[in-house]
Every structure is written in structure tokens, then in C-alpha cells.
């Protein structure tokens, strides 16, 4: 318990360090695991099977948290391209990466296909984390969220299929299996999500703290039910979480806050375990193959999959370029790399080392440069600060919500008067914090970048208020007329 608490505290501090430095937090967590591992402080851990089980559990929580925070209005218009990118696009990426591994690195086709399947999935935790700090248009952020939530499912099926020691199934069997498992997973997620939302809206629980537990149990039920019915549990949990997150459940803010905390614990635990499983002194021979395969993946496979699948949907080339670079890898490929280890596939340790190095190097390159690329392509926009939150507990008996809004330096709310925000009826800006001082504004108060606002709303006006703030933040005081929002 002492060791675990110390690791958690160090990891929490690491989040602050990563925010200030721009380094992805997952690299710091992996570093903590390596530091206390057998090549560091001497803690020996080599249980790949336990890592896989706990990694799957962490991914369930991370996908649930992402689904609960996903805005259905944002992802609904991009569901067709996101679905095609998460299925057909993944297939293109797998085979292009495998071809590069075979012809450039000299790996046999079995290991090449396995590596291609493992590294072709974007990581939900990495994508959700980046979207909190990179201000992207709703269409792009929704597409990235939906793709990262959907593409784990087909990749897991391919990895399991390629990790066998016997002959591969014919391609049409693999395609049929993927379609069937996705269909079952989606059906289970829809059923559990709808029934769960209906039940939680009509059953008055005696404590607000029981609602987050019930929602978490429903998402785990969706995963387990989908897996037991030979469907995609990962797709089931994401679909279920999206439905629950958009169902206007009682104590919704508390539910999302609880899920956010569990997702952080899941990420920390998963990355530290993966770092413990790593043995740096055996990885020297994997560096060059990892770099070559990573370059093929990032510069050829991912862009090709984006162009071939999204061009029919008429996405501008700038958005395609950003989506190509935003295919972030994280814990998912490393967790999937434990499947061959558990199955005793030949050269599984070498494959794990290649995946580990690839993820670390290219996450270090792609993550910090994504905001720069968005600005260069001129498709970033002003956004509300990442610390937006709602404190529901103090207003629980008043049927209201408290919104804490942090304006970014580039926010277009700068120069807008409070009255010009045109917040819906039932909402008001009650406090402004500026340069360490706070004051009560009136309608003529001019807001500035970096201000922090305290907005009080009724239950019914909460979502409309947040939408309005985001619209003005991105489009200025005339957002409602200029952009129809």
C-alpha cells in the first residue's frame, strides 16, 4: 500500500509536469515503471498475463470515461467516416505496415502482420487527453473521438487471429468475424445503455454517490456481456457509455467526475505496469526495426488509410493531414503486444520490444507537435480551457449547476461584454476572477482572455449554457448569427 500510494502521488505530480512541458503523461508513467523495475530499483515483474488482464480492465474504464464525455451532437454527423476509418482504414494501415516490416526489416509475414495489427489502432486515452488541450473544430474532434472509440474492436480481433501458431483463417472468415463481433458488440451496448438510462431515470437512489457506481457497473456489464456473447466488448462499453453520457441522468456531473478519476487511476496503473514489464537492457536490437516500422506507419500507412477512406466524404486536405498526424499510439498497442507473449508465439519478446520503442518514440514526436501542426494548417480554433468543470454537490438541493470556465489566451470571448454572451434564461455570470482578484460583474463588464468565470445555471439551462459559451469562445459575440449556433 505504501509503494502504491507513493507511485500514485508521483504520477499525479507527473501530470502537472507533462502539462507544463508538453510531454505526453503516458511517457512519464512508463518512465516511472522502468525506474522502479528490474533495471532500475530492482523490482522484478514479468507476469504478462496479469498485465494483459489489468490492461484490458483499464481500457474498459478509459473507454467508458471517453464515452461518457462524448457529445452525441458532435459525433453523430461524423459517424459514417469514423466507422469507415476505424474498420477499412485500420485494415489498410495493418497491411501497409506489415508490408513495410516484411520488405524493409526482413520479418516473416506472420510476425509482420501481427505487428501491423498491434500498432494500427489509435489509443483512446492518448486521443482523449490531447483533445482536452488542442482546440479543434467539432467535426474533427468528434471524428477522432469516434474513431478511437471504435477501432480497438477490429484490431483486437486481428491480433488474436494473427497470434495463433497454426494457419491463418481465410480473409473472408476474418472479415465475417469482425462484422459479426462488431454487430453483437453494438447491439449489446445499445441495449444496456438504453435500459440502464431508463432505469436510472426512474429509480430514485438514496444517495447521489450511488449513481456513478451504477453507471460504471452498467459499462462493465456491457463489456462483459458483449464478450460472453462473442461480440466486441470494447465497442459495447463505448456505445453504452455514449448513450448513458447523453441521457441527462441524475447527477450527471458527479458521474463524469467519478469516471474521470477512475480513468486516471487506470491509465497510471496500466502504464506503470507496462513499464515494469519492460527490460531496457534487452531492447537494443529492437531500436532500428521500431524506427523503420514506425516511420512506415506514421508517414505512409496512416496517411494512406486516411486519404483512401475519407476522400469520398469530401474532407479538405488540411483536415486529412491533421487526422493523419493525430493517429496517436499509447497503451493499447503495448497491451495488445502482451497477447503473443501470453500465447507463447515465437519471437513474441522481440515483437513486444519493437512495439514498446515505437510507441515511446513516436508518441514523443507526435503528441507535442500536434498543436503546432493544427495552427500551421489553420484549422485550430479558440476553445474553453481544459479546466471547465461543474460542481453539482453544493447546488444539489437547489436544482442548479455551477460552471467554472477558464478562458484560453486565444479565446474570442476576449472583448465581449457579459450581456453580449446572450446566455439562455436561467443562467448568469456571477463572478469573474482576473489576475488573482475576483469581482461581481454586471452586463457591461468586458471579459478578457485568461479570465475565469463562475456561471450559475438551472438544471434545464446547463447544457444550453455550455453550448453557448463554446460558440462564443470559437466565433465571438456574433456566433449565433454568423454560424447559426
Are 154 and 79 part of one and the same domain?
yes
What total of structural domains would you count in the chain?
2
Q: How confident is the model at residue 393 (pLDDT cuts 50, 70, 90)?
A: very low
Residue 370 lies in a domain: yes
How much is the pLDDT for 215? 93
Are 22 and 165 part of one and the same domain?
yes
Residue 382 lies in a domain: no
Contacts of 179 (CB under 8 A, 6+ apart): none
Q: Which of residues 312, 344, 376 is at a domain's end? A: 376
Residue 381 lies in a domain: no
d(CA 257, CA 369): 29
**pTM recorded for the entire structure:** 0.76
Are 70 and 34 part of one and the same domain?
yes
Query: pLDDT tens across 147-199, in order?
Result: 887 888 888 888 888 887 777 778 788 888 888 998 999 999 999 999 999 88
Grid coordinates belonging to 478: 456574433
**CATH code where residue 457 lies:** 3.30.70.1450
Task: Judge whether residue 107 has pLDDT over 50.
Answer: yes
Are 304 and 249 part of one and the same domain?
yes
Query: pLDDT tens across 136-157, in order?
Result: 777 787 888 788 878 888 888 8
Residue 232 lies in a domain: yes
The DSSP code sequence of 154-196 is: HHHHHHHHHT-SSPPPPHHHHHHHHHHHHHHHHHHHHHHHHHH
Residue 88 lies in a domain: yes
Q: How confident is the model at residue 395 (pLDDT cuts 50, 70, 90)?
A: low
Nearest to 408 by CA among 478, 465, 472: 472
CA distances from 392 to 211, 380, 395, 399, 456 (A): 13, 31, 6, 9, 11
d(CA 286, CA 361): 12
Stretch among 95-99, 117-121, 216-220, 250-254 having the lowest mean pLDDT: 250-254
Are 238 and 119 part of one and the same domain?
yes
- What stretches of 278-345 show up as alpha helix (H) in DSSP? 287-296, 302-310, 317-325, 331-336, 338-342
Mean pLDDT estimate for the chain:
83
**CATH code where residue 312 lies:** 1.20.1530.20
The Cβ of residue 53 has, within 10 Å, a number of other Cβ atoms equal to 14
Are 164 and 313 part of one and the same domain?
yes
Residue 308 lies in a domain: yes
Residue numbers of the domain that contains 444: 389-482
Are 410 and 343 part of one and the same domain?
no
Task: Judge whether residue 389 has pLDDT over 70.
Answer: no
Are 97 and 175 part of one and the same domain?
yes
Residue 233 lies in a domain: yes
Q: Which of residues 326, 353, 376 is at a domain's end? A: 376
Give the helix/strand (H/E) hosting 400.
Answer: strand 400-406
Amino acid at each position: 500500500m505504501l509503494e502504491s500510494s507513493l507511485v500514485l502521488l508521483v504520477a499525479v505530480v507527473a501530470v502537472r509536469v507533462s502539462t507544463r512541458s508538453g510531454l505526453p503523461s503516458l511517457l512519464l508513467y512508463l518512465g516511472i515503471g522502468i525506474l522502479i523495475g528490474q533495471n532500475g530499483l530492482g523490482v522484478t515483474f514479468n507476469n504478462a498475463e496479469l498485465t494483459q488482464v489489468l490492461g484490458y480492465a483499464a481500457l474498459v474504464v478509459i473507454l467508458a470515461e471517453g464515452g461518457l464525455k462524448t457529445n452525441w451532437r458532435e459525433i453523430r454527423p461524423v459517424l459514417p467516416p469514423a466507422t469507415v476509418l476505424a474498420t477499412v482504414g485500420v485494415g489498410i494501415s495493418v497491411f501497409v505496415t506489415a508490408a513495410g516490416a516484411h520488405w524493409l526489416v526482413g520479418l516473416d509475414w506472420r510476425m509482420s502482420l501481427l505487428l501491423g495489427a498491434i500498432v494500427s489502432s489509435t489509443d483512446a486515452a492518448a486521443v482523449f487527453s490531447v483533445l482536452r488541450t488542442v482546440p479543434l473544430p467539432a467535426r474533427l474532434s468528434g471524428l477522432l473521438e469516434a474513431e478511437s472509440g471504435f477501432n480497438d474492436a477490429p484490431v483486437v480481433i486481428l491480433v488474436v487471429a494473427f497470434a495463433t501458431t497454426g494457419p491463418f483463417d481465410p480473409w473472408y472468415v476474418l472479415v465475417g468475424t469482425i462484422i459479426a463481433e462488431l454487430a453483437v458488440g453494438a447491439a449489446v451496448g445499445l441495449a444496456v445503455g438504453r435500459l440502464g438510462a431508463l432505469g436510472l431515470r426512474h429509480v430514485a437512489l438514496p444517495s447521489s454517490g450511488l449513481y456513478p457506481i451504477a453507471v460504471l457497473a452498467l459499462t462493465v456489464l456491457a463489456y462483459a456481456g458483449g464478450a460472453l456473447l462473442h461480440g466486441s466488448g470494447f465497442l459495447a462499453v463505448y456505445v453504452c457509455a455514449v448513450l448513458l453520457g447523453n441521457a441527462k441522468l441524475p447527477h450527471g456531473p458527479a458521474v463524469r467526475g467519478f469516471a474521470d478519476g477512475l480513468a486516471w487511476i487506470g491509465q497510471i496503473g496500466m502504464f506503470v505496469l507496462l513499464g515494469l514489464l519492460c527490460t531496457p537492457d534487452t531492447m537494443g536490437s529492437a531500436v532500428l526495426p521500431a524506427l523503420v516500422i514506425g516511420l512506415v506507419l506514421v508517414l505512409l500507412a496512416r496517411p494512406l488509410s486516411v486519404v483512401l477512406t475519407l476522400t469520398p466524404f469530401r474532407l479538405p486536405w488540411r483536415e486529412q493531414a491533421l487526422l493523419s498526424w493525430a493517429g496517436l499510439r499509447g497503451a493499447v498497442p503495448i497491451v495488445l503486444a502482451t497477447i503473443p507473449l501470453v500465447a507463447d508465439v515465437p519471437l513474441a519478446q522481440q515483437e513486444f520490444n519493437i512495439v514498446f520503442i515505437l510507441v515511446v518514440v513516436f508518441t514523443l514526436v507526435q503528441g507535442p507537435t500536434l498543436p503546432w501542426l493544427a495552427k500551421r494548417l489553420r484549422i485550430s480554433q479558440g476553445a474553453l480551457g481544459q479546466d471547465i468543470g461543474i460542481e453539482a454537490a453544493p447546488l444539489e438541493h437547489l436544482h442548479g449547476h455551477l460552471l467554472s470556465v477558464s478562458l484560453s489566451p486565444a479565446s474570442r470571448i476576449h472583448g465581449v461584454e457579459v450581456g453580449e454572451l446572450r446566455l439562455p434564461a436561467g443562467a448568469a455570470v456571477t463572478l469573474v476572477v482576473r489576475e488573482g482578484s475576483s469581482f461581481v460583474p454586471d452586463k457591461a463588464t468586458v471579459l478578457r482572455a485568461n479570465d475565469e468565470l463562475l456561471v450559475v445555471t438551472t438544471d434545464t439551462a446547463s447544457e444550453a449554457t455550455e453550448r453557448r459559451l463554446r460558440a462564443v469562445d470559437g466565433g465571438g459575440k456574433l456566433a449565433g448569427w454568423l454560424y447559426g449556433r
